Every structure is written in structure tokens, then in C-alpha cells.
Amino acid sequence: MPDALLKVESINVWRGASQVLNDVSLSVGQGEIVALLGGNGAGKTSTLSTISGLLRPKSGSITFAGESGPVSLTSLRPENIVKLGIAHCPEGRQVFGGLSVMENLRMGAYLRHDDQIGADVEHYFELFPILRERADLKAGQLSGGEQMMLALTRALMSRPRLLMLDEPSLGLAPQVIDQIFDRIEEIRAQGTTVFLVEQNAAMALEVADRAYVIENGKITISGNASELAEDPSVREAYLGIETTQATGAEIPPMETSS
């Protein structure tokens, strides 16, 4: 595995009286795509929210490889975590519906003070040409797929070293999902590490290098994505492929007589 860019060690997190993460440990290496899989309520969003400072762990540690050494994230404010180089693209896209596409993109760069913001907008317009066509439209007028492209691009406008994506395929048509995942691979190829939370396990495992499975706030399985794609328990629970417990072989569909 490459050197760890992000390391989460034994974090325990509560929302009110309910524990949502129980002794969760994981890592994301420089240049990787790492997927976190699980069902609704498993703890995926809580994991991202804790890394980005929206939730605080009661115990455990989260460290990020800063320019001059490891930096603890557990007591930093969310805006300071963004400054370190971590961007969080939230579930449900959460674009600013009353602002234009261009205004949304500039909001993504609100912590920057360099002169390359315009050049970055042009770069991402090349990655998502439809956003150039929609630049002056209000974000609320975009389709779901276009809003996802905007949310993804807005997150990239902070120039993150680590991009965290929460359910980018949610509610999208299959052809749009394919396009989004193609772009995720391009983003990694251009030097941004990706931590991907997804219920669409098949797509996530196809693009990821490694993956974790979280259930009821606990990491239950981890390994190379290709290995998890062949794991019988993962195939049954998340890929919809029934297998025999003994061999892991797929069970053929029952034949029906006519």
C-alpha cells in the first residue's frame, strides 16, 4: 500500500445517545481510490463527517499527512481541514440552488487567495462540458446528474489532496453513473486521492484499489477491491449474487418448466 495520506485509528463517535461508529480504523494511501461500502445507516456518512470535522470522536485519532508531517484532525474546525487539503462532496449533492453554476464553483474556492481560480474553472469545464453550457443557470434548475457534476467540481475547486465522495451515484440514471465514475478515475489520474462512500458496490469495487465494509458502525471486512468483489459474503450482501457458503460458487437460477 502507498504511504498513508489519511489514517483513522479506533474512533468512537456518538450522535446524541446513539453510538454511530465503534472502534473504526482505516487508511487511505496517497494516490489510491479507497471505497467504504455498507447499507443505509451502517456508518458511512458518519465516517466522512467525522473526518471532515462535522462530528467529533469521543476517542481514537485521525491524522492527515501534512506538508511538514502528520496533522491531527480531531480538534480542527472544518474550514481548517479544508485548508489542509481535504474536500467533502456530501450526500444529496447540496448545491446552492439559488446561485448560478459559476457562483457555486467560486464558493468551492472561497478559502483560496491565488490567481489560478479562473484557470481551474476552465479545466473543470473541460472535464464536465455541460457545466460550461449551464454556467449562468441557477444550480436548482439543473438535472440530478448535472447537480452531481457541479457538486463534484465545486469540491475540487479547493484543490484538495484528498477528495471524499458520499454516494455520488445516488438517484442517477445508469449512463450518468458511468460518466461520473469515469471522471472519478480521471481525477485520481490527475493526482487527487479519492475516498469513496457508495451503496453501488459493483461500481465502487470496479474503480477502487482497496475497500472496507462497514456494518452497524464497525468495519467488518477489508482488503483489495478485486478480492472483496469475489468474497462470498460481499457478493451476497452487496452485489446481489447468491453463492454457496462452502465454495463461494454462484448458485444458478432455478429452471422453470413450461
The DSSP symbol for 4 reads E
3-state secondary structure of 172: coil
- Contact at 8 Å (CB) between 17 and 213? no
Closest CA to 131 of 152, 159, 114: 152
- The 10s digit of each residue's pLDDT in 112-139 is 888 899 999 999 999 899 999 999 999 9
Distance, first Cα to last Cα, the chain:
53
Q: Is residue 135 one of the residues assigned to a domain?
A: no
Residue 256 reports pLDDT greater than 50? no
* Residue whose C-alpha cell is 471532515: 52
Q: Is residue 122 one of the residues assigned to a domain?
A: no
3-state secondary structure of 19: strand
pLDDT of residue 254: 42
Q: Is residue 124 one of the residues assigned to a domain?
A: no
Q: Which three cell numbers stand for residue 233?
A: 459474503
- The 10s digit of each residue's pLDDT in 27-78 is 999 999 999 998 888 999 999 999 999 999 999 999 999 878 899 999 999 9
Q: Which domain holds residue 223?
A: 4-94+159-247
Instruction: Tell me the pLDDT of the chain averaged across its residues.
Output: 88
Cβ neighbours of 62 (radius 10 Å): 22
Cβ neighbours of 1 (radius 10 Å): 12
CA angle 136, 196, 127 (to 5 degrees): 35
Q: In sequence order, which ranges of 60-116 are alpha helices (DSSP H)? A: 78-84, 101-108
* Structural domain count of the chain: 1
Q: Is residue 114 one of the residues assigned to a domain?
A: no
Cα separation, 44 vs 40, whole angstroms: 8
Q: Is residue 125 one of the residues assigned to a domain?
A: no
* Rounded mean pLDDT, 137-151: 91
* Residue whose C-alpha cell is 476552465: 122
pLDDT of residue 122: 92
Longest dimension (CA), the chain: 71
Q: Is residue 110 one of the residues assigned to a domain?
A: no
Q: The domain spanning residue 46 has which CATH number?
A: 3.40.50.300
- Contact at 8 Å (CB) between 51 and 8? yes
* Rounded mean pLDDT, 240-251: 49
3-state secondary structure of 40: coil
How long a stretch of residues is the chain?
Answer: 258
More confident residue, 131 or 245: 131
Q: Is residue 144 one of the residues assigned to a domain?
A: no
Q: Is 94 left (phi over 0), alpha (psi -120 to 50) or beta?
A: left
Helix pair angle (117-127, 144-156), 10° resolution: 140
Cβ neighbours of 121 (radius 10 Å): 20
Question: β-strand 210-215 against 33-37: which pairing, if any?
Answer: parallel
Q: Is residue 164 one of the residues assigned to a domain?
A: yes
